[in-house]
Structure 1
Amino acid sequence: MGATRWIFALTALVVAVSPAAAQQFPTKPITFVVPYAAGGNVDISTRILQAGIGETLGQPIIVENRPGAGGLIAGDYVARSAPDGSTLFVGSNASILLGPMTMPKPPYRWDQAFEPVSGLAVATNMLLVTPNLPVKTVGELIDYAKKNPGKLTLATSSGASINHFMAELLKLKTGITWTEVHYRGNAPAINDLMAGHVDVGFMQLTDSRQYLESGKLRALAVLGPKRAPAVPDVPTIIEAGLPDVQGITFNGLFAPKGTPPAVVDKLSTAIRTALSKKEVIDRLGQLGSDANGSTPAEFTKFLNDETAKWTDVMQKANIKVTGE
């Protein structure tokens, strides 16, 4: 057989085998690798979906926690895994977009290392202050910051987090300044915010809701297009006159680059089926999150849009977090 005919024959064989393999998929348990410790927002959201996705696919879903390096350890592990759909990454803002884009030599770029499968959930972001700060609206916060330049301190869960980027975005749009304090996680940042050791914080509703209800924290705005049902009296940042200062915390599922499209589609369909169930929607809602299933194409467009938005913020604010 000539070389050309051999290549055509091999190509035809691959095309024929791939759909068959996808049709049989999955033939073994599937591992969802979560880049954070058990008990956090991403971990809990994943476990809410665990049984439903496994039931649809006919195989158990194993949740494996691999924390460290802002999620990059887990991401790199999955990126190097076999592209057969059996090992998947539960990525979020920091581990998929913000961490890699702030590094000169990241272990991966999402568009080169992964096949986007589907969004999972989005969490409501909040602009919070310690109750001792004499401000009750976003406008009052901006006025206070301008009258007291450099006096305010701001807590973020870490450098290269969505909380950090949201803080930089607000600074760019308003011209205010503050001293940023990057913590290692939301919990210590919230503790210091409640104690008054820092003045302002960008946090997720999932982590701060109980403290808002008890009065230990004060919410100035929801950083999205609509009010959150869990805190209906808190206005949106749009209502505060800053429509360009919006940002969501998302998590979604990613397969290693090269995973067959039919396998990716099958996984995406199973996720969207699980996310459509009322009990799943209700449980995510109790966390302050919304179900956010999407097709691979829809999820890819979302990621491209988010990459463009936050790259612009990073460049204008000169964000560099190479040590994270």
Structure 2
Amino acid sequence: MTLSFPRRRVLAALVATGAAMAAPGVFAQSATTYPTRPVTLGVGFSAGGAVDIVARQLGQALGKSFHQPFVIENRPGATGIIAAEAVAQAKPDGYSLLLGTQSTMVVAPSLYPTMKVDPKKDFVPVSLVASVPLVLVVHPSLPLHTVQDVIKYAKDKKGDLSYASSGLGGPQHVAAELFASMAGVKMVHIPYKGEANAISDVLGNQVPLMFSNLPTLLPYIKSGKLRAIAVSSLERAASAPTIPTVNESGLKGFEALTWFGLYAPAGTPQDVVGKLEQGVKQALSDTELRAKMTDQGMTLEGRGSRDFAKYMEAESTKWAGLIKSAGIKPE
């Protein structure tokens, strides 16, 4: 039977309407059923380090929420870039995620402009999970007690004052360079292969000072083996409220944090990203997880995808400008 023109139009309209109604149902179903199998959470640093610890705690909490295992996959090397490349190339279906840090996602692109992965284009920011302040410490034999003391000491040394870090482009490195830039002083960077080696030489007074993660240095501060000068967050740290901030000590606006964020490959369905975003919020509301991370000196963030994307853009601009002005280059 041949359909008349009006009937063909009506039929076409019904088909189109049915397709339009079905499309949201498809996406709703994927969000409702996700995940139906284990999820891999990539980490660009070795097992046992700060990033790995956060990933395992978050993965365990997400596993409880989603009733599927979140399996940690460590791919250390190249400031986390190796793991980032692997996740960026994975199928964008929500089953391969990355716990990224500022070193990998906002600092490395300015240090290594030829790197194969572009964090802004190749990833969707899901949630800013947590952050950790750094603390500026000196060997207790030095007559330095305040930020202004350190600035004066650096000026008196006329560029001959050295500082330790865990390596090029790490939070310890860029925090010290930001300090030097804002204070108008010159300091010599002594990079180490890892945070432990850098701390060891500051403890031994081979290198006079360094910035490093507050939770790591807090035992040495409490024992008197190192002297805390100031923390790098805008406000004082809850785990060390007697230590002033660099911000309140004369360098207004100074902030340098170690942060950890959850990312999905670009192209991951928005409904899956949304479900992961809500999953992180739920995980961070868990009393046990909050207690663990707070005891480790972390600030729980839980910023959603849009807010995290804006924060990432601001961080990228900030550190790119510093790297350019300070002339920091790969060694």
Q: Same fold (TM over 0.5)?
A: yes
Whole-angstrom distance in 1 between the partners of 2:273 and 2:208: 44
Q: Which one of the candidate residues 172, 175, 181 is aligned to 2:181?
A: 172
Q: CA offsets, 1:88-118, max 9 Å, x none?
A: 0000011111112211201212111101111
1:252 aligns with 2:261: yes
* Contact in 2 for aligned 1:186/1:207 (Cα 8 Å): no
**1:179 offset after TM fit, Å?**
1.2
1:186 aligns with 2:166: no
1:79 aligns with 2:88: yes
Query: Which protein shows a greater Rg?
Result: 2
Gap change, CA 1:203 and 1:11, over 3 Å in 2: farther
* Contact in 2 for aligned 1:206/1:287 (Cα 8 Å): yes
SS at match of 1:133: coil
> Match of 1:268, as an amino acid?
E
Q: Which runs of 5+ in 1 are unaligned?
A: 1-6
* Contact in 1 for aligned 2:234/2:253 (Cα 8 Å): no
**1:60 offset after TM fit, Å?**
1.1
Q: Which one of the candidate residues 263, 273, 295 is aligned to 1:286?
A: 295
1:266 aligns with 2:285: no
Q: Which one of the candidate residues 158, 166, 170 is aligned to 1:157?
A: 166
User: Residue 4 of structure 1 corresponds to which residue in structure 2?
Assistant: none
> Match of 2:280, as an amino acid?
I
1:117 aligns with 2:108: no
Q: Which one of the candidate residues 18, 22, 29 is aligned to 2:31?
A: 22
> Match of 2:150, as an amino acid?
L
Q: Which one of the candidate residues 60, 68, 75 is aligned to 2:69?
A: 60
**1:203 offset after TM fit, Å?**
0.4
> Match of 2:204, as an amino acid?
A
* Contact in 1 for aligned 2:234/2:254 (Cα 8 Å): no
User: Residue 232 of structure 1 corresponds to which residue in structure 2?
Assistant: 241
1:313 aligns with 2:314: no
Whole-angstrom distance in 2 between the partners of 1:219 and 1:238: 15
Q: CA offsets, 1:16-38, max 9 Å, x none?
A: 53332232111100111111111
Whole-angstrom distance in 2 between the partners of 1:37 and 1:238: 32
How many residue pairs get matched?
317
Whole-angstrom distance in 2 between the partners of 1:23 and 1:238: 45
> Match of 2:265, as an amino acid?
P
State, as a whole percentage, how many aligned pairs show the same letter.
Answer: 36
* Contact in 2 for aligned 1:41/1:206 (Cα 8 Å): no
Q: CA offsets, 1:57-112, max 9 Å, x none?
A: 12111111111111100010000011010110000011111112211201212111
Whole-angstrom distance in 1 between the partners of 2:200 and 2:288: 31
Whole-angstrom distance in 2 between the partners of 1:312 and 1:55: 41
**1:13 offset after TM fit, Å?**
7.4
Gap change, CA 1:47 and 1:246, over 3 Å in 2: same
Whole-angstrom distance in 2 between the partners of 1:11 and 1:187: 58
Q: Which one of the candidate residues 233, 241, 247 is aligned to 2:250?
A: 241
> Match of 1:314, as an amino acid?
I
> Match of 1:228, as an amino acid?
A
SS at match of 1:292: strand
Of the structure 1 ranges 13-22 and 149-158, higher mean CA displacement relative to structure 2 is found in 13-22
Whole-angstrom distance in 2 between the partners of 1:251 and 1:86: 19
Gap change, CA 1:118 and 1:33, over 3 Å in 2: same
* Contact in 1 for aligned 2:127/2:277 (Cα 8 Å): yes
1:40 aligns with 2:34: no
Whole-angstrom distance in 2 between the partners of 1:237 and 1:116: 29
